[in-house]
Amino acid sequence: MNPFQFTRVTTPQAAISAITKQSGTYFLAGGTNLIDLLKRDVIIPERLVDINKLPLATIEKTSMGLRIGAMAKNSAVADHELVKEQFPLLAQALNAGASAQLRNMATVGGNMMQRTRCSYFYDTSMPCNKRSPVQAGPDKGQANGPIGCGAIGGVNRMHAIFGTETAGVRGTQPGPTDRSAKCIAVHPSDMCIALVALDAIVNVSGPKGDRSIPFAEFHRLPGDMPQKDNTLQPGELIMSVDLPTNRFADNSHYLKVRDRASYAFALVSVGVGLDLKRNTIQDVRLAMGGVAHKPWRLIEAEQFLKGKEATEANFKQAATLAMQGAKGYGENDFKLTLAPNSIVDALKIATKIAQP
């Protein structure tokens, strides 16, 4: 491991100042992903700024819903009474992630910033456009290993079926929609699938001031810059996440399909929340994980379901709409079947019409 400087800060202003002053600086929160990246030389920092003492761990009610501080631990959010009562989809998604020990360390902001688990990304002897972009430089990432994408034509069982060069990027998909022939990695978080489904807002602070980003626009598709996972500007710090009040608490579910019952990333996951009046769907939110470079919102399926009866036939039609433009890369072709089946199952569980 290369030597690096280490600084501990206690205010957001000091954190922003520290990361702005020196290139090669990274924030250290729970460290549950960053330490792996350091140990494998995927990231070679000049300086780490420990932000664990920032006063950003509060979970509080607001006029619009709930505000969760960026430094709140995943386990604290999942166990919070207001989260369990009003946003059970978020609590379920958090508890589906990683292990109890990791959830006790991981923060909300860090969860959002975690990198893909594509195995080529973590092996510096293998080609990877995300780790070693074609155009390296201060603003374009560091050259670290061979360029190219090992997963395209390689081991890609866990990889994307949406948002890649030939796979669908539908016109109504919110946020940046750059397709990419350069990277087919998937975003690994469970929490973020719930947050995009719940129309969360990310509040950030940076050298140019404060701003709020709709969650669907926080993460990005790879396009020509696969090294860039999100739309944060240089020096920006995640301060909090806002959850607007909704009517989905009684009919929501996070379904995670994985290779083993615990401590595994999603092959496919589905987050669903519905507002039901008798059996008619007044409103619905649907999002998927394990299928794209960003949390994948199923806008067409949502629009189809609004006003419809909650029936298995309608759920199947919605799933068919959701899969338009999906493309497999060989080993991950099974997701083309697993994904729509999971959408139907998640909707059935959330509406309690039947257990799959």
- Is 252 a binding residue for ligand SF4 by CB under 6 A? The answer is no
Exposed/middle/buried for residue 195 (C-beta within 10 Å: 0-12, 13-18, 19+): buried
In sequence order, the 6+-apart residues with CB closer than 8 A to the CB of 304 are: 314, 317, 318, 321
Residue 116 in contact with ligand SF4, rule: CB under 6 A: yes
Check residue 94 for interaction with ligand SF4 (CB under 6 A).
no
Q: Is residue 167 near ligand SF4 by the rule CB under 6 A?
A: no
Cα–Cα distance list, 38 to 35, 126, 187 (Å): 5, 17, 19
Instruction: Give the shortest CB-127-to-ligand SF4 separation in angstroms.
Output: 7
249 neighbors 88 (Cβ within 8 angstroms): yes
Q: Do 30 and 110 contact (CB within 8 A), yes or no? A: yes
Residue placing its CB nearer to ligand SF4 in the complex, 299 or 326: 326
Q: According to CB under 6 A, which one of 30, 150, 206, 340 is a site residue for ligand SF4?
A: 150
Task: Candidates 118, 167, 255, 344: give the one binding ligand SF4 (CB under 6 A).
Answer: 118
Residue number, 206 or 222, with CB nearest to ligand SF4: 222
Check if the beta carbon of residue 49 is closer than 8 Å to that of residue 15.
yes
Torsional sign, CA 259, 127, 151, 325: positive
Using CB under 6 A, pick the residue from 76, 91, 151, 288 that binds ligand SF4: 151
Shortest distance, CB of residue 214 to ligand SF4, whole angstroms? 25
Residue 121 within binding range of ligand SF4, rule CB under 6 A: yes
Determine how many CB atoms are found less than 10 A away from the CB of residue 105. Answer: 18
Tell me the closest approach of the beta carbon of residue 173 to ligand SF4, in angstroms. Answer: 19
Residues 120, 218, 296, 315: which binds ligand SF4 (CB under 6 A)? Answer: 120
Work out the number of other CB atoms within 10 angstroms of the CB of residue 153. 10
The C-alpha atoms of residue 311 and residue 291 are separated, in whole angstroms, by 25
Q: Which of 96, 112, 128, 191 binds ligand SF4 (CB under 6 A)?
A: 128
The stretch near ligand SF4 (CB under 6 A) out of 40-48, 81-89, 127-135, 348-356 is 127-135
CB of 121 to ligand SF4, least distance (A): 4
Read off the tokens for 104. 């006790």
Residue with smaller CB distance to ligand SF4, 167 or 286: 167
How far is the C-alpha of 297 from the C-alpha of 179, rounded, in Å? 16
- Please, which residue, 20 or 119, has the CB nearer to ligand SF4? 119
Q: Which residues pair with 59 in a beta bridge?
A: 68
C-alpha span between 180 and 225 (Å, rounded)? 9
Q: How far is the CB of 265 from ligand SF4 (least distance, A)?
A: 13
Give the residue with the Cβ less far from ligand SF4, 129 or 269. 129
Assess 149 for contact with ligand SF4 (CB under 6 A).
yes
Judged by the rule CB under 6 A, the positions of this chain that interact with ligand SF4 are 116, 118, 120-121, 128-130, 149-151, 183-185, 226
